[in-house]
Structures are given as C-alpha cells and as structure tokens.
C-alpha cells in the first residue's frame, strides 16, 4: 500500500498537484510499481490533513494522466508501462533542471561557469 | 447552500459591524473565515447562525430562513454551549431530545477519541477538555451545516492535528463547513475557499487552488488585505 506520510505539503502549489507530483516521484524512484494499491481517498485526506474534495481532484488528475487506475471493486492502483515511465521521467528531470537553471540565473551565474562548477563537483 | 444578501449588522460601539452585499456558499464547501482580531469573523458566523438581529438583509440556508434550519446547523464556539452541571453523557442525552438526528454512539466514540471522561461533570474539566466536549457534541448532531468559531483556541499542536484528522475522517462531503481560525497555515490545506474579513467586510474571497495557481500565497494575500505593517516593530524599538 502506497503511503503518503513522506509527503510534506507546501503552501505554494495547489494540494492536488502536490499529491500527483508525489505519486509520480514515487513511480520514478520505483518505490511505487505496477499494481500497488493506493489507500482510500478518505484515508489519504486524513493522513495529510487535507480536504477530501482535494484528494478526489488529485485522483481525477492522476487517472487522466494515466498512472492511476480505479475500478469499482479493487479501488485504485498504480499503473505504469514503459511509455508512462518515460513521460514521468522526462517531466520530473526536466522540472529539476529548469528549477536549477532559474536559481543559477538568480545569482547571475553564466552558462560557462555553471558547466565548470558541475564538472568540478560531479 | 448558504446565501446572504444585503446583510447589515451595526453596533453602537466603534465596532465595524458587518456589511455583506451578496455571498453564496455552495453545499459541500469547506470555507475558512479569516481575518485579524475584530475584523468581523464571529459576527459573520453568528449572523449565519441567526444569533442577534440583522439591521437589514437576509440569510437563507438551503433556501429557508435560519429559524427553520436550526436542527440542521451546529455552531461550535469557544464560549461553549454545553451545560456545565451535566456530565458529557447526560449532556448527550439532553441533546438527543432536541436534535432528532443526534447520534449518541458517534458522540461517545468521539469523546473516547479525545480521551474525555464521560462520567465527571463538565465544570470540573479544563478549558481544552470543555471545548473537546463542545466539538464532539457539534459533530454528532447530524447537522449539514457546521459552523466552527475558533475551534483551536487554547488547544495544543497535537490536539489541533487530532481534531482536523477527526473532522476529515467523519465528514461525508455533503456537509458545508465554515471555520474561523487564526491558524492559517494549519487549515489552508483543508479549506476549499477563504473569506478574508477586514473591518466587517469581505475583502477577499478566494479558492485556494486558484490562488496558488496564480502563484500567490494565502498568508501574503492576508497581509496585504489587513494592511499589516511589517516595520511597525521599529516603533516599539524606539520606546526603549
């Protein structure tokens, strides 16, 4: 059963997006794999102390994006295939790099300097 | 749905009263009633509850005046509506006479969840314990509209967390909830919508998800609306 205890919510992004991002990260790290069960919406809401409507919204998003499948008698499970995994990987790594570039630009680092620093610290 | 139209409430004192032209709260919404001290939060909740007379205007709950909806509303307040000479158990029996939908079993379970002794008189309880009794009773009335006025006042961090988790666990999502609190960051992930009061008027009405999608933070918006002066402390430093 996928736990949400490690998700620390921030006050900047909508909660339903934070929940979906957390699940994507778990998939990327292979901590959530095909067929893993998700807790009930009410359970997740209580775990995170968030509105049950918000959790419902997160499930809708995750189902639309394809990595959560819900069926009447089984509840919700993680669904990953190679295509979905690649998409999540691209999205999350892209996000990481973009954030890094923004912070680097904030302190006026040049591209050349950044590459130098990466080479040094890698 | 809760509807307010042209609601005006004035006080003789230099208090700002309350002026609301139009407000609709759809069924199932969890709404945070926020604002600085004295901004009109309690006055607003009391108006919705029909406590005290309005100078003008109308409050409708599910299309009917509040007076016809009392059995559908629970008002949980720090002032407390419990009867102190009763034990929580006797108080529950008392409530079940007045509220046909009062759920005694749920009430006792909730009291147990908060470790409340059901057999001692309420007046012997600490402030925190008394307000837990108030909360347990409020959530057992089978009300569709639940109004909470500062339910966190005088409660420690763990009790606040327990309370929120309890509330989330027992909601059936068709209840409409209005909750006033100063603990903005503890409730901002629970509320759908924030009403920000200032001088007796609603100066901000935001859905939290929309606000964040625009890249704004609730606490920042509140600072702007209440005109919080960040550098005021410098005046205090001059005093010494």
A7 CB-near residues (< 8 Å, 6+ apart): A18, A19, A22, A48
How near does any CA of chain B get to the CA of A50, in Å?
A: 4
B171 at interface of A, judged by CB pairs closer than 8 A = yes
At A84 the pLDDT is: 95
DSSP characters over chain B: -EEEEEEEE--SSS---EEEEEEEE-TT-EEEEEESTTSSHHHHHHHHHT-S--SEEEEEETTEEGGGTGGGEEEEETT--S-TTS-HHHHHHHHHHH-TT--HHHHHHHHHHTT--SSS-GGGS-HHHHHHHHHHHHTTS--SEEEEESTTTT--HHHHHHHHHHHHHH--S--EEEEE-S-HHHHTTT-SEEEEEETTEEEEEEEHHHHHHTT--HHHHHHHHTT--TTTHHHHHHT-
Domain presence at residue B171: yes
| Residues B124, B90: Cα–Cα separation, whole Å | 15
- Give the pLDDT of chain B (240 residues) as one tens digit per residue: 999 988 888 776 656 788 888 999 999 999 999 998 888 999 999 999 888 777 788 899 999 998 899 889 999 987 777 788 999 999 999 999 888 899 999 999 999 999 999 999 999 998 888 888 998 999 999 899 999 999 888 788 888 888 898 888 888 878 999 999 999 988 999 999 999 999 999 999 999 999 999 999 999 999 898 888 888 888 888 887
Quote the pLDDT of residue B12: 61
Residue B225 belongs to a domain with what CATH number? 3.40.50.300
pLDDT for A89 equals 95
- B-proximal residues of A, 68-97, CB under 8 Å: none
pLDDT for res B212: 95
- Residue B206 included in any domain: yes
The CATH number of A1-80 is: 1.10.10.10
Beta bridge partners of B59: B4
Query: What is the Cα–Cα distance from B94 to A12, expressed in whole angstroms?
Result: 45
Q: Is A52 in contact with B173 (Cβ distance < 8 A)?
A: yes
Residues of B in contact with A50 (CB under 8 A): 168, 189-190
For residues B72 and B144, is the Cβ–Cβ distance under 8 A?
yes
- By C-alpha distance, the chain A residue nearest B191 is A51
Contact B85, B91 (CB under 8 A): no
At residue A86, φ and ψ (nearest 5 deg) are -60, -45
Complex ipTM > 0.90 = no
Range of the domain at B135: 27-52+61-238
CA A76 vs. chain centroid, Å, equals: 17
pLDDT of residue B122: 93
Q: Examine residue B213 and state whether it is found in any structural domain, yes or no.
A: yes
Residue B209 contacts A, CB cutoff 8 Å:
yes
Residue B10 is assigned to a structural domain of this protein: no
| Per-residue pLDDT, B220 | 92
Inter-chain CB proximity B168 and A14 less than 8 Å: no
Predicted local distance difference test score (pLDDT) of residue A111? 92
Mean pLDDT of chain B: 89
* Nearest residue, CB atoms, A11 vs list B161, B165, B218: B218
A40 touches chain B (CB under 8 A): no
- Within 10 angstroms of residue B200's Cβ, the number of other Cβ atoms is 23
The tens-digit pLDDT sequence of chain A (122 residues) is 888 989 999 989 999 999 999 999 999 999 999 999 999 998 999 999 999 889 999 999 999 999 999 988 789 999 999 999 999 999 999 988 999 999 999 999 999 999 999 999 98
Rounded to a whole number of angstroms, the distance from the CA of A14 to the nearest CA of chain B is: 5
The reported pLDDT for the residue numbered B169 is 87
B/e letters for B145-172, b = 16+ CB within 10 Å, e = fewer, are bbbbbbbbeebeeebbebbbbbbbebbe
Q: How far is B216 from chain A (nearest CA, A)?
A: 7
CB contact under 8 A, A48 and B189: yes
In degrees to the nearest 10, what's the CA dihedral of B43, B49, B55, B61? 130
Tokens of B104: 């005694």
Q: Is A48 touching B (CB cutoff 8 A)?
A: yes
Q: Please report whether residue B148 resides in a domain.
A: yes
pLDDT of residue B55: 77
Convert the pLDDT of each residue in B163-192 to its tens digit.
898 888 888 878 999 999 999 988 999 999
Chain A: give the shortest CA distance to residue B21, in Å.
28
> How many folded domains does chain B comprise?
1
């Amino acid at each position: 059963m996928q736990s949400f205890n490690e998700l620390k919510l921030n006050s900047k992004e909508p909660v339903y997006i934070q929940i979906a991002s957390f699940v994507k990260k778990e998939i990327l790290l292979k901590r959530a794999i095909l067929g893993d069960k998700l807790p009930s919406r009410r359970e997740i809401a209580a775990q995170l102390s968030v509105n049950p409507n918000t959790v419902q919204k997160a499930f809708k998003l995750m189902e639309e994006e394809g990595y959560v499948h819900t069926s009447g008698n089984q509840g919700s499970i993680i669904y990953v295939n190679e295509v979905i995994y690649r998409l999540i990987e691209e999205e999350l790594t892209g996000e990481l790099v973009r954030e890094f570039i923004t912070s680097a630009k904030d302190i006026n680092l040049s591209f050349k300097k950044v590459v130098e620093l990466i080479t040094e610290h890698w | 749905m809760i509807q307010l139209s042209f609601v005006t409430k004035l006080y003789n004192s230099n208090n700002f009263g309350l002026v609301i032209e139009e407000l609709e709260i759809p069924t199932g919404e969890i709404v945070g009633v926020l604002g600085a001290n004295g901004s009109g939060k309690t006055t607003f909740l009391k108006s919705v509850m029909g406590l005290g007379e309005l100078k003008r205007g109308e409050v409708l709950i599910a299309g009917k005046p509040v007076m016809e909806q009392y059995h559908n509303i629970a008002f949980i307040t720090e002032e407390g509506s419990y009867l102190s000479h009763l034990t929580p158990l006797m108080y529950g029996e008392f409530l079940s006479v007045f509220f046909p939908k009062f759920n005694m079993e749920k009430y006792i379970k909730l009291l147990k969840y908060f470790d409340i002794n059901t057999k001692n008189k309420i007046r012997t309880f600490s402030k925190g314990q008394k307000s837990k009794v108030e909360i347990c009773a409020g959530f057992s009335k089978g009300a569709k509209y639940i109004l909470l006025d500062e339910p966190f006042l005088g409660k420690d961090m763990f009790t606040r967390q327990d309370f929120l988790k309890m509330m989330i666990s027992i909601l059936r999502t068709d209840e409409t909830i209005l909750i006033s609190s100063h603990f903005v960051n503890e409730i901002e992930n629970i509320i759908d919508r924030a009403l920000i009061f200032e001088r007796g008027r609603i100066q901000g009405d935001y859905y939290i998800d929309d606000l964040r999608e625009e890249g704004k933070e609730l606490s920042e918006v509140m600072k702007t609306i209440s005109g919080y002066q960040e550098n005021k402390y410098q005046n205090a430093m001059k005093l010494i």
